[in-house]
Chain A
Amino acid sequence: MTMETAYAQALWKMVEGGLTPAKAVRALEVTLKVHGREALLPRIASAFARIAQRETKRSDIVLTVAREKDIHRARLSAKKYLDGMVAKSARGGSALGRDLKTQIDDTLIGGWRLEGKETLVDASYKNQLLALYNSVTRT
C-alpha cells in the first residue's frame, strides 16, 4: 500500500468514526506538517476519491428482475434480505431509497436477484434451472 493510500484510508476511517470532515482534514494536515509530508496532499486527495468511489459501489444494492412488471413483487419477496442489507449500512434505514437500484435483465427468465453489501441472493429462474441442469449432468 502506498503512503498516500494509507493516509487516505486513515482519513476515511476518521470520518466514518464520527469526526467532522473539517476536523479530520485539519488533523491530517497537522500530521503531515509534523512529518514534513505536505507534498503528499494532492495525491492523498486522489486516493481519497478512489476510496469514496469504491465505497459507493460497495454500498449500492441492486435488485435485478427479468421484466419491469416484476419489480413490485420482487421487492416484496426480497424484503427480508433487503432489511438485512440495510441494517448493515452505516446510514441505516434511510439508505434504502437512496442505495437500492433496480435493473432489468431478461436473461434471468423470471424471479429476482439481489446484490449488495457483499451479499448475493439469486432467486432467478435461470439460477434454479442452471442448478437443476448441473445436478443432473455433472454428477
Chain B
Amino acid sequence: MDSATVEKIIKEIGNIAPAHEGEHVGRVVAVGDGVVAIDGLSKAVMSEVLVFEEGKGKRLAGSMEAQGELYGLILNLEEDGVRATILGDTARVSEGMTVKSSGKILSVPSSEELLGRVVNALGEPIDGKGPFKKTRLMPIERQAAGVIDRKSVSVPLVTGTKAIDAMIPIGRGQRELIIGDRGTGKTTVAIDAIINQKYEPEATRPICIYVAIGQKESKTARIAQQLREQGAMDYTIIVDAPASAPAALQYLAPFSGVAIGEYFMDKGRDVLIIYDDLSKQATAYRQLSLLLRRPPGREAYPGDVFYLHSRLLERACRLSEEKGGGSITALPIIETQEGDVSGYIPTNVISITDGQMFLVTDLFNKGIRPAIDVGISVSRVGSAAQTKAMKSVAGGIKLELAQFRELEAFMQFASDLDKATADRIESGRRMVEVLKQKNGQPIPLEKQVAALYAAGHAFFLPVRVNKVTEVEKQYMDFLDGQYAKTLASIRKSGQLSEDDKKALNKAMEEFRLAHAESFK
C-alpha cells in the first residue's frame, strides 16, 4: 500500500469524527504482590472493576498482541486514592500506568453453555473448548434472598453415600459443612454426591458446580476426568482457582461459583455447589487483606473474615414458589489441623452452616470409609427433607452405632459379656460394614433403603464380618435382577409400602437360601 493511500485512509477515519466519552481514570503509584495503589479515581465505588491501560506508548501491532484486557478489583477506598487487586499477571502492571474505571461491579458470565466446562474465577473458559457464545452476566456480589423469598428445606438431595443419606440427610437449599483433616476423604464425599445426581430424573437433577480453591491443578484435572468418565460432567461446571492463581482469584472463586449457580436458581433449577475448600479461600483473603494494610485480627485474619463466609453461604437457599422454587445447596469443605475443630475458621463456618459431617483420620486408617464420625456429625434441617422410605429404615441406626461404639470401648476391659451385649456388638460391627462404601461408587436411594432394611432385620448377622460387604454386593445384584420392580417402586414413591416390605422380606429369604454358605 502506498503512502498516499495510507494518508487517505487516515483522513477518512478522521472524518468519521466519533463522539468521545471522557473516561474516569487514575494512575498506578505503587504495585507489588498482586495489589496496586492508585492515585485518583475519586468517584470509584467498592468492588468496581478497573481496566489497566497497557497499550500506552506501544505500537498498534504490539497492543493487538496483548493477551486480553487486564482487570483489577477495588478493595479499599482511601482518602487520596484507591487500592485494588490485580485479576491477572502482576508483571503486566507498571508504575505510572493509566487505570480506567469501568463503572461496573465484577460479574461472571453464566448460561447453559457452561455445563461440562472448566472456567476460571472470572468465568473465562480454560479447557480449550473455545469461548461462550451467549451468556448472561451475573454479579459476583449479590444480596442473599430475604426471608419472604425463601421456603423451608423439604426436598432431599441424595448424595449416594449411605452413612450421609441415612444419618445426616441433606435437603435442597441446605448448607452442610464437610470438615476433617487432610486425606480423610472430604473431596471424595463431595464428588460422589455430584456423581450420584446422574440417578436423578433430568427434570429435577441439580446442576452441580465444583469450585476448586487453591488446589493442585493435577487434582482438579483428575476430578474433571473422573466426572467425565462417570457421565457427570454433562451437568457439572468446574470453577478452578488453582494454588498457582493469584490470591485475588482464589478469594473470588467461590463468589463466581455461586453467581453462576444463581443463574440456574433464578430459572427455577436446583443447584449443588461444592467449595473445596474455604480454608484456602480464607488464607487467600488474609494475604490480600494484609497486603491492603487492613488491621489483622485473630490468627492474622482480617476482622471481616466471618462476613466473608456468611455472605457467601447465605446465598445458598431454597426460593419460594413465587420466585421460581429454585435452590442452591452448598457443601463447603474445611480442612482442619490435627482434628482441631476449635480453630478460628472451622468454628466460624460451623456456626454459619446447617450442620456438619466430621471425617476422622482414625476411622479412615481403620478402613472405615467414608470416615464419617456419626456421633459428632449433624444435619440441622435435612431430616425434614428425608424420604419416608429412608426415614423408616434409618431411624435407629445412629443410636445403634453410638451404643456399639460405647460397648466396643467397654469391651476392651471386660472379658465376659452377656448375650444381649455380645449380640449388640456383633450387630454394630456388621452395621459399620454395611455403611462402608468405595469411593466413586455412590448408591441410588432405593438400594440404600434395601441394604439398610436388610441390616435392620438382622439379615447380615449370620454373615462373617469380613464377608458383609461382599454379601451385600451380591444381594444388591440379586435385587437388581429379581426385584427390579420393587426397587423402582421405592424410588418412584419415596416410600416403603407394606408390599415393598413383603417383597424385600421374600427377597432376603430367597437370597439366604441361594447363598446358604455365606450365612453359616
List A residues at the B interface (Cβ < 8 Å): 1, 9, 54, 57-58, 77, 81, 84, 105, 107, 109-111, 115, 118-123, 125-126, 128-130, 133, 138
Q: Are B39 and A58 in contact (CB under 8 A)?
A: yes
Asked if B23 is at the interface of the complex by the 8 Å CB criterion, the answer is yes
Question: Contacting B98 at CB < 8 Å: which of A58, A77, A110, A120?
Answer: A120
Interface size on B, residues (CB 8 A): 30
Report the Cα distance A129→B13, complex, angstroms: 10
What residues on B are CB-neighbors of A110 within 8 Å? 10, 13-14
Q: Quote the shortest CB–CB distance from B213 to chain A (angstroms).
A: 28
0/1 string, B23-38, CB within 8 A of A gives 1: 1111100000000000
Q: Are A130 and B64 in contact (CB under 8 A)?
A: yes
Given contacts A58-B39, A107-B59, A130-B55, contact A122 B24 (CB under 8 A): no
What residues on A are CB-neighbors of B222 within 8 Å? none
Asked if B514 is at the interface of the complex by the 8 Å CB criterion, the answer is no
Q: Are B98 and A126 in contact (CB under 8 A)?
A: no
Asked if B186 is at the interface of the complex by the 8 Å CB criterion, the answer is no
Q: Are A115 and B98 in contact (CB under 8 A)?
A: yes
What residues on A are CB-neighbors of B57 within 8 Å? 105, 107
Asked if B492 is at the interface of the complex by the 8 Å CB criterion, the answer is no
Report the Cα distance A115→B22, complex, angstroms: 9
Report the Cα distance A107→B13, complex, angstroms: 16
Asked if B42 is at the interface of the complex by the 8 Å CB criterion, the answer is yes
Q: Are B22 and A81 in contact (CB under 8 A)?
A: yes
Asked if B18 is at the interface of the complex by the 8 Å CB criterion, the answer is yes
Q: Are B55 and A119 in contact (CB under 8 A)?
A: no
Given contacts A54-B80, A58-B39, A107-B59, contact A122 B23 (CB under 8 A): yes
Query: When A and B form their complex, which 5 residue pairs have the shortest distance between CB atoms, in order from nearest?
Result: A120-B25, A118-B40, A119-B22, A120-B23, A123-B20
Asked if B79 is at the interface of the complex by the 8 Å CB criterion, the answer is yes
What residues on B are CB-neighbors of A107 within 8 Å? 57-60
Q: Quote the shortest CB–CB distance from A31 to chain B (angstroms).
A: 19
Question: Contacting B18 at CB < 8 Å: which of A57, A109, A128, A130?
Answer: A128
- Counting residue pairs across A and B whose Cβ atoms lie within 8 Å, the total is 66
What residues on A are CB-neighbors of B230 within 8 Å? none
Q: Are B98 and A109 in contact (CB under 8 A)?
A: no
Closest chain B residue to A73, Cβ basis: B14
Given contacts A9-B79, A110-B14, contact A118 B25 (CB under 8 A): yes
Q: Are B41 and A118 in contact (CB under 8 A)?
A: yes
Q: Are B13 and A126 in contact (CB under 8 A)?
A: no
List B residues at the A interface (Cβ < 8 Å): 10, 13-14, 17-18, 20-27, 39-43, 55, 57-60, 63-64, 68, 79-80, 98, 100
Q: Could you list some 9 contacts between A and B, CB below 8 A?
A: A54-B39, A54-B80, A115-B98, A118-B26, A119-B23, A120-B24, A125-B13, A126-B55, A130-B64
Report the Cα distance A66→B60, complex, angstroms: 13
What residues on A are CB-neighbors of B14 within 8 Å? 110-111, 125
Closest chain B residue to A106, Cβ basis: B59
What residues on B are CB-neighbors of A77 within 8 Å? 17
What residues on B are CB-neighbors of A54 within 8 Å? 39, 80
Q: Are A120 and B64 in contact (CB under 8 A)?
A: no
Report the Cα distance A120→B68, complex, angstroms: 21
The residue among A84, A119, A122, A123 with the most chain B CB atoms within 10 A of its own CB is A122
Given contacts A1-B79, A58-B39, contact A120 B100 (CB under 8 A): yes
Report the Cα distance A130→B68, complex, angstroms: 12
Question: Contacting A84 at CB < 8 Å: which of B10, B22, B27, B42?
Answer: B22
Q: Are A129 and B60 in contact (CB under 8 A)?
A: yes
Q: Are A121 and B39 in contact (CB under 8 A)?
A: no
Q: Are B22 and A120 in contact (CB under 8 A)?
A: yes
Q: Quote the shortest CB–CB distance from B301 to chain A (angstroms).
A: 23
Closest chain B residue to A139, Cβ basis: B131
Q: Are B58 and A121 in contact (CB under 8 A)?
A: no
Q: A57-B39, A120-B100, A130-B60 are in contact. List 10 more A-B contacts (CB 8 A).
A: A9-B79, A81-B20, A107-B59, A109-B10, A111-B14, A119-B23, A120-B25, A125-B13, A128-B13, A133-B64
What residues on A are CB-neighbors of B23 within 8 Å? 119-122
Report the Cα distance A2→B100, complex, angstroms: 28
Given contacts A107-B58, A109-B10, A128-B13, contact A122 B63 (CB under 8 A): no
What residues on A are CB-neighbors of B64 within 8 Å? 130, 133
Closest chain A residue to B293, Cβ basis: A1
Report the Cα distance A122→B100, complex, angstroms: 12
Given contacts A9-B79, A105-B57, A138-B68, contact A126 B20 (CB under 8 A): no
What residues on B are CB-neighbors of A9 within 8 Å? 79-80
Closest chain B residue to A131, Cβ basis: B18
Closest chain A residue to B16, Cβ basis: A128
Report the Cα distance A1→B80, complex, angstroms: 10
Q: Are B60 and A118 in contact (CB under 8 A)?
A: no
Q: Quote the shortest CB–CB distance from B352 to chain A (angstroms).
A: 34
Closest chain A residue to B11, Cβ basis: A110
Closest chain B residue to A66, Cβ basis: B10
Question: Contacting A126 at CB < 8 Å: which of B25, B42, B63?
Answer: B63
Q: Quote the shortest CB–CB distance from B294 to chain A (angstroms).
A: 14
Report the Cα distance A130→B51, complex, angstroms: 15
